[in-house]
Amino acid sequence: DGGITQSPKYLFRKEGQNVTLSCEQNLNHDAMYWYRQDPGQGLRLIYYSQIVNDFQKGDIAEGYSVSREKKESFPLTVTSAQKNPTAFYLCASTDQPGPVPSEQYFGPGTRLTVT
């Protein structure tokens, strides 16, 4: 069954700790994205990757880091430098990162709470 999986569904951390969110896709998509959603708001782009071993900052990259060592995996680390890490994090992918955008698909999300 093809799709995007994110784990865990809920994550609780103490302030000052780094935490890594998992995103895996078996759609053979080239591009992957991380978005953040705060209550009552739309999604904002954190980081994206169009190809393995390459990634770019999105609109709100400060306090986050990513890696893309495999095509199917794009983990996001929320570092202690992120001032307001509590949010809903969604991962997405698309198969054509070129000039004609393809449809983007989303995983089920991870709710991170930092206290």
Partner 1 sequence: GIQVEQSPPDLILQEGANSTLRCNFSDSVNNLQWFHQNPWGQLINLFYIPSGTKQNGRLSATTVATERYSLLYISSSQTTDSGVYFCAVVIPGTASKLTFGTGTRLQVTL
Interface residues toward partner 1, by CB under 8 A: 31, 33, 35, 37, 41-45, 48, 50, 56, 58, 88, 90, 92, 94, 96-97, 99-106, 108-109, 111
Euclidean distance between CA atoms 103 and 86, whole angstroms: 28
The alpha carbon of 68 is separated from its chain's Cα centroid by a whole number of angstroms, namely 11
DSSP secondary structure, 29-95, as one string: -SEEEEEEE-TTS-EEEEEEEEETTEEEE-TT-TTEEE--SBTTB--EEE-TT-S---EEEEEEEES
The residue (of 86 and 104) whose beta carbon lies closer to partner 1 is 104
The residue (of 63 and 109) whose beta carbon lies closer to partner 1 is 109
Minimum CB distance to partner 1, residue 15 (Å): 23
The residue (of 18 and 96) whose beta carbon lies closer to partner 1 is 96
Minimum CB distance to partner 1, residue 42 (Å): 3
